[in-house]
């Protein structure tokens, strides 16, 4: 597979992720799982808390262990948050998932 194709696909995925096209679908899924709309909106605060908590350590981690390692760790943490959201669609699961999603700042800490 050509490198340009792989890069193009990754850019498209990153662009789509930045538009947050998944949020309406995710909200409907959580409402179907009996998580209240109030709790869904309140849980979004944990995303910001996660970014605040992880922002400085991610820069240090990237400097200490390398940008590539930091990016991989960020992907793994975000994947853990998504898995948690799917397996535990409760108020606590949504809050923890959003918190782990905020740890995605491993990407910004790794960028130079």
Predicted pLDDT of residue 1: 55
Render 80-105 in DSSP notation, one character per residue.
HHHHHHHH--SHHHHHHHHHHHHGGG
Predicted pLDDT of residue 32: 92
Predicted pLDDT of residue 36: 92
Burial 19-44 (b: 16+ CB within 10 A, else e): eeeeeeebeeebeeeebeeeebeebe
Predicted pLDDT of residue 85: 85
Predicted pLDDT of residue 101: 82
Predicted pLDDT of residue 57: 81
Which pTM value belongs to this model?
0.73
**Mean pLDDT, 10 residues at a time, over the chain (112 residues)?**
70 71 85 91 87 82 84 82 87 89 70 56
């Amino acid at each position: 597979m050509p490198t340009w194709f792989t890069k193009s696909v990754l850019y498209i995925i990153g662009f789509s992720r930045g538009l947050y096209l998944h949020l309406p679908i995710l909200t409907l899924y959580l409402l179907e799982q009996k998580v209240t709309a109030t709790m869904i909106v309140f849980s979004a605060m944990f995303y910001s808390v996660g970014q605040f908590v992880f922002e400085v350590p991610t820069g240090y981690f990237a400097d200490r262990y390398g940008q590539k390692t930091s990016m991989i760790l960020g992907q793994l943490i975000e994947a853990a948050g998504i898995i948690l959201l799917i397996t535990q669609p409760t108020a606590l699961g949504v809050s923890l998932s959003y918190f782990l999603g905020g740890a995605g700042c491993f990407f910004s800490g790794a960028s130079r």
